Amino acid sequence: MKSALTAGLERLALALPAERVEALLAFSAAVLEKNKVMNLTAITDPAQAAELHLLDSLTLLKVLPLTGKSLLDVGTGAGFPGVPLKLAEPSLRLTLLDSLQKRMRWLEEEALPALGVEARFLTGRAEDFARDNREKFDVVTSRAVARLDLLCELCLPFVHRGGYFLAMKGAQAQEELHEAANAIRLLGGSYERTEEFEIGGAVHSVIVIHKTGKTPEQYPRSWARMKQKPL
Ligand code: SAM
């Protein structure tokens, strides 16, 4: 697992101090251990976890400079991509958001304290937190949560003007982007670029959306409304 991670870091040309690599591996091991009793991930092989969870999360460090930034990870699940980013870049001010209480309690009470990592935890639905945390973050990230048009409505309200939303996507990235063009514009975003990385033999895409305007107050709508009538 260590060799899979170090080889991947070399491939991405990401140089991390040894203690940060150790912390990343310790977090991945903790996820796989907890996964035996709590549903956290479909991946059970440590080398695959190093590639598909750790390295995939760390690609965001190649997309934007994150030093000292406030970052919100929407639908973080077992902590991806937010926790690996914080372990690799400790100056990051990390907030994790997910509606699943069990996963969030494990991150808040066990996994992160064991690593000495500080973060803020928002347990609940993104659309409910948006009111009090509007336009508060430099960067918002999200992986494997919803299709891009819906995801933009969940995530862009949290980004302040001048900040970025980074959506981690797979092979369908361009199709989703096409579908989300109207939502991005209506929500005050502006599509900047897509960056591609080869992770675990497949192309993973990061869609970079710049927040150039203000999100109108009526967004986000309820989840039911978003699904019924995507922007
Ligand atoms: N981002 C993690 C990853 O890539 O491993 C977890 C992905 S998991 C498939 C999707 C997560 O998004 C779940 O933990 C779910 O609870 C959360 N989620 C989905 N919709 C949400 C919403 N509207 N607000 C908060 N969390 C949400």
pLDDT for residue 2 is more than 80? no
pLDDT number for residue 171: 84
Q: Which domain holds residue 84?
A: 2-228
Maximal C-alpha separation, the chain? 48
| Residue ID of nearest Cα to ligand 1 atom 5 | 80
66 DSSP assignment: -
Q: What are phi and psi of 112, to 5 degrees?
A: -75, -40
What pLDDT digit, counting tens, does each position of 187-227 carry? 999 999 999 999 989 999 999 999 999 999 999 999 999 99
Phi and psi, residue 144, nearest 5°: 55, 45
pLDDT, one tens digit per residue, over 164-178 is 999 999 989 999 999
Considering only CA atoms, which residue is closest to atom 12 of ligand 1?
75
* Mean model confidence pLDDT for the chain: 96
The residue whose CA has the least distance to atom 4 of ligand 1 is 143
Percent of the chain at pLDDT exceeding 70:
100
Residue nearest to atom 11 of ligand 1 (CA): 75
Q: What is the CATH number of the domain that holds 79?
A: 3.40.50.150
Nearest atom in ligand 1 to the alpha carbon of residue 75 is 12
**Which protein residues touch ligand 1 with a CB less than 6 Å away?**
75-78, 80, 97-100, 103, 125-127, 143-145, 154, 223
Domain count, the chain: 1
Which of 102-127 are b and which e, b meaning 16 or more Cβ less than 10 Å from the residue's Cβ? ebbebbeeebbeebebebebbbebbb
Can you give the pLDDT at residue 66?
97
More confident residue, 3 or 155: 155
Distance 113 CA to ligand 1 centre (A): 22
